[in-house]
């Protein structure tokens, strides 16, 4: 479903950890919030944006 609305890459948080190296992203919509803000920010490109929407990170915070 997420791909159908335009996502280039979808991560199954039960199978892979996007904060452990690998690609960096221009935009992360975090619906799970199972990583700290600093861990998640490391997965962003220098101008990347984070929209936290999970339990672990308050939804009011935007990270750039």
So what's the pLDDT on residue 5?
84
So what's the pLDDT on residue 7?
83
So what's the pLDDT on residue 43?
92
So what's the pLDDT on residue 60?
47
Cα(64)–Cα(62) distance, integer angstroms:
7
Q: By the 8 A CB rule, do 47 and 64 touch?
A: yes
So what's the pLDDT on residue 53?
78
At residue 10, what are phi and psi to the nearest 5 degrees? Answer: -115, 135
Tokens of 14: 């039960």
Sorted by where each begins, the domain ranges of the chain are: 18-64
Alpha-carbon dihedral angle through residues 45, 47, 53, 58, given to the nearest 10 degrees:
110
User: Which pTM value belongs to this model?
Assistant: 0.69
Q: By the 8 A CB rule, do 24 and 47 touch?
A: no
Running along the chain, 64 residues long, what does each successive block of 10 average in pLDDT? 83 88 88 85 92 62 50
């Amino acid at each position: 479903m997420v791909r159908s609305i335009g996502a280039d890459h979808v991560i199954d948080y039960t199978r892979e950890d996007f904060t452990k190296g690998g690609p960096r992203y221009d935009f992360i919509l975090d619906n799970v919030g199972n990583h700290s803000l600093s861990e998640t920010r490391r997965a962003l490109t220098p101008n990347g944006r984070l929209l936290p929407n999970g339990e672990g990170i308050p939804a009011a915070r935007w990270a750039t």
